[in-house]
Structure 1
Amino acid sequence: MTETTHATGTAQLDPEEMMSRDEIEALQLKRLQHTVQYAYGRVPMYTKKFDDAGVHPSDLKKLDDLAKFPYTTKEDLRQTYPFGMFAVPMDQVARIHASSGTTGRPTVVGYTRQDLDDWAKLVARCMRLSGVKPGTMVHNAYGYGLFTGGQGAHAGAEKLGCTVIPISGGQTERQVQLIQDFQPETIMCTPTYLLTIHDAMVKAGVDPTSTSLKTAVLGAEPWTAEMRHELETKMNLNACDIYGLSEVMGPGVAGESFETKDGSHIWEDHFRPEIIDPFSDDILGDGEHGELVFTSLTKEALPIIRYRTHDLTRLLPGTARPGMRRMGRITGRSDDMIILRGVNLFPTQVEEIALRIPQLSPHFQLEITRPDRMDELTVKIERREEFTAEECVAAGRELGEQIKIHIGSSARIDIADPGTLARSSGKIRRIYDLRNKEQ
């Protein structure tokens, strides 16, 4: 258990955080062997999957043997809806979370009391690594409810020994007021919602650089180095990433150091990561870009074996925690990829280019249409307040040219007035596919 010392505002590291790489891998193998046997014996879907693949838990004799086992996908969770993936009786399930289900059946995840304790411990690790100290106040603007963000961040902050303001998402004007009144040092939310809070501060006449906020722990959506620079400069704080997804646990699977800011360290005492080619399914080596896959090592209610996250990144050696590997910054999601006239495009690529152009803001949307048999991309992006529409004509041309050069796709650029595009109150929607509406 993480020990905290409120008098000094410091927190001790968990012993596992100080393990060498060899010690971590020895622990992983022991826990992995238990997990595959546990899942095979308790979850009918895994029993069938392993049998169909001709593999048995006893075949896992070394870490590389994990490659023999089949992948788990979001569709597997949907097919076993609601509780078919649970490995314990319902009277041992302490909490249930679920996805929104906007693209089909929701994915449902469950936690035992031990799972909840582990989850809180790992979120606390992430926060401590990002510079959050015990005894400080945390403004938690992640959404509460079935989404794992709000409750996960809340429990981790309490575990670390912080005071939590459980504001959730939305009611942005009230968020601004409470930040002024309560003086929290830390904020937790999505990066695009922090941008929304910044804009609301400006609108209310509040100087965003003068608030009490010193640390932002941001996650739940991909964001770029350019977005980090935007937020840190405009709000005078340190912004660090926290990574997770509901099917694997929720936020807290990995966290970023405020000292190095070089990607999130994965808590490999609880999760075994892999990188695969998203098209061939081949396993890739450390340093190679591909799709992130996770296997849980300690989960009781919902063990997950080789879960395909669709997040595109790479694995790198640890720095702030040398025994734990890091994730490179997520470049996008394979299921968010736009294929436009044979060219692969991600929203983060547009964000990276746009934020290098001084006249353009981080608020943008991508619209895909098919007016005449051919797909067309329109980038709707707001200009910054300090520039007139006339001053942004050249900036729009530059954005189009840079997208063509660096991404290889033509795009129509539509410069919007400040405040006219939809704002985030949680996860931002970047892509609007209007092709089917036109047919």
Structure 2
Amino acid sequence: MMIWDPDRECMAREPLEALQLEELQTTLERVYRHVPCYQKKFLEYGVSPSDLTSLSDLAKFPFTTKEDLRLNYPYGMFAVPLREVVRIHSSSGTTGKPTVVGYTRADLDNWTELVARMMTAAGVTADDIVHIAFGYGLFTGAFGLHYGAERIGASVIPISSGNTEKQIMIMQDYQSSALVCTPSYALTIADHLQKMGISPDSLKLRIGLFGAEPWSEEMRREIEQRLGVLATDNFGLSEVMGPGVGGECEYKRGMHIAEDHFLAEIIDPQTGEVLPPGSVGELVLTTLTKQAFPMIRYRTRDITRLHYEKCKCGRTMVRMEKTRGRSDDMLIVKGVNVFPTQIEEVLFQVEGCAPHYQLVLDREGHTDSLEVQVEVNEKIFFDEMKKQREFVGMVEKRLAAMLGLRARVKLVEPSSIPRHEGKANRVIDRRKT
């Protein structure tokens, strides 16, 4: 078992927190001097960088939200002149203007190191052939994993997304051993392998590094079984850096966050109050080493929990549980908080359900309704009506026990739900139209 940077990844808590404090003080000074948005926010809150004398003092400082980034589009949050920015990425901008992020040469070097650290923890070595099926472009995922894999010394296939049959041909011919994509696309690949009559055993794949969307443990088991890989989760977001903020080791007991570069807090998403260790809440991240685009207390909207005890692998950095969903993607149905991953967890436990589903929210009169459309195998889909009703009743009962509300289940035939090469679009909310 390899550790990319043991001096950093296995630091004791005391020297790590001393390093964090020093870097945090420097970062606060930098944004106060060079980012008008932060200067204004600090003045409104009545705080200045000199008020931070311990890590707990960070709670006095204001949050940064995606709205702040939109209001300062495109370069208003940069802390260095554009001539020092050597790379620009952005989010997809699906809910408005994209958020634009910049990197200095040192930022790119740190990013590459952290992705190499994360990929090594997952088991990637210089002997691997890394198949990157993320879309290349302004999205940070593909480039982040690409340069990290090259830093390790692995061979990289930058195939990008799309054309699944060609992806499979390349995997066969080029002997890809590590697959990088979204978990939902990994299952799309598995579906195509099955349709093409190709056994996963005929491929050289051994590791999967999946991210960019929430996914359940049931989905992990499905991917591992159908592709024959060790499926690991990783975490990143473009506003903070991109992939490499955190990632799982072979023990899969949470994603190790690079605490020497990012300070993590868990807050109550409603009140903004910092919660004690072990609490479930919204993850807030502060960058400690970013030059071009530092973020102070950025609200990720990801719901998770942090574990501080040392991992079996020897790494001491805090571990983040799989995200349970997002505070802003959370569905509220009849007053009940529902995360799509809860529904996924139930469906993956039901034999006959395929790993493809869609949630349709509607309003009947003044009452919310939730319909779960789920693909089932041909035997169930073409079974007699009585058996179908019994199957639907069983799934609806399990969903009610998990969610605390009734959801209608609609069985749909195999391959009828749209497949996605990037993030899966799981929810159709007709209440907003």
Interval containing the TM-score (normalised by the shorter chain):
over 0.9
* Alignment partners' CA distance in 1, 2:388 and 2:344: 17
Contact 1:357–1:395 (CA<8 Å) still a contact in 2? no
Deviation digits for residues 50-102 of structure 1, max 9, x if unmatched? 01100000000000000000000000000000000001111110111111112
* Alignment partners' CA distance in 1, 2:2 and 2:379: 42
Q: Tell me, yes or no, if structure 1 residue 434 matches structure 2 residue 425.
A: no
* Alignment partners' CA distance in 2, 1:420 and 1:86: 45
Q: Tell me, yes or no, if structure 1 residue 175 matches structure 2 residue 161.
A: no
Alignment of 1:314-329 (within 5 A): 314-317=305-308, 318-319=310-311, 320-329=313-322
Match for 2:304 among 299, 302, 313? 313
Alignment of 1:177-256 (within 5 A): 177-256=169-248
Contact 1:10–1:134 (CA<8 Å) still a contact in 2? no
> Secondary structure of 1:402's match?
helix
TM-score (norm 2): 0.96
Q: Which residue in 2 is equivalent to 1:265?
A: 256
Match for 1:335 among 324, 328, 331? 328
Deviation digits for residues 20-45 of structure 1, max 9, x if unmatched? 11121111111111111111111110
Which shifted more, 287-296 or 153-162?
153-162
Question: Per the alignment, do residues 395 and 304 of structure 1 end up closer, same or farther by CA in structure 2, a change over 3 Å counting?
Answer: same
Q: Tell me, yes or no, if structure 1 residue 58 matches structure 2 residue 50.
A: yes
Question: Per the alignment, do residues 372 and 204 of structure 1 end up closer, same or farther by CA in structure 2, a change over 3 Å counting?
Answer: same
TM-score (norm 1): 0.95
Cα RMSD (Å):
1.4
Match for 1:286 among 277, 285, 290? 277
Alignment of 1:17-96 (within 5 A): 17-96=9-88
Amino acid at match of 1:335: D
Shift of residue 14, structure 1, vs aligned partner: 4.5
* Alignment partners' CA distance in 1, 2:344 and 2:148: 30
Q: Which residue in 2 is equivalent to 1:369?
A: 362
Contact 1:271–1:294 (CA<8 Å) still a contact in 2? yes
Where has structure 1 moved over 4 Å in runs of 4 or more?
Answer: 9-12, 385-388
Contact 2:381–2:412 (CA<8 Å) still a contact in 1? no
Q: Tell me, yes or no, if structure 1 residue 423 matches structure 2 residue 419.
A: yes
* Alignment partners' CA distance in 2, 1:386 and 1:96: 50
Shift of residue 211, structure 1, vs aligned partner: 1.3
> Secondary structure of 2:364's match?
coil
* Alignment partners' CA distance in 2, 1:202 and 1:285: 47
Amino acid at match of 1:187: L
> Secondary structure of 1:284's match?
coil
* Alignment partners' CA distance in 1, 2:69 and 2:76: 8
5+ residue gaps in structure 2?
none
* Alignment partners' CA distance in 2, 1:397 and 1:26: 57
* Alignment partners' CA distance in 1, 2:314 and 2:29: 30
Q: Tell me, yes or no, if structure 1 residue 402 matches structure 2 residue 402.
A: no
* Alignment partners' CA distance in 1, 2:202 and 2:13: 42
Deviation digits for residues 313-357 of structure 1, max 9, x if unmatched? 011024134421000111100111111111110100000011011
Shift of residue 201, structure 1, vs aligned partner: 1.1
Match for 1:274 among 265, 268, 287? 265
Q: How many residues are treated as equivalent by the alignment?
A: 428
Percent identity over the alignment? Answer: 50
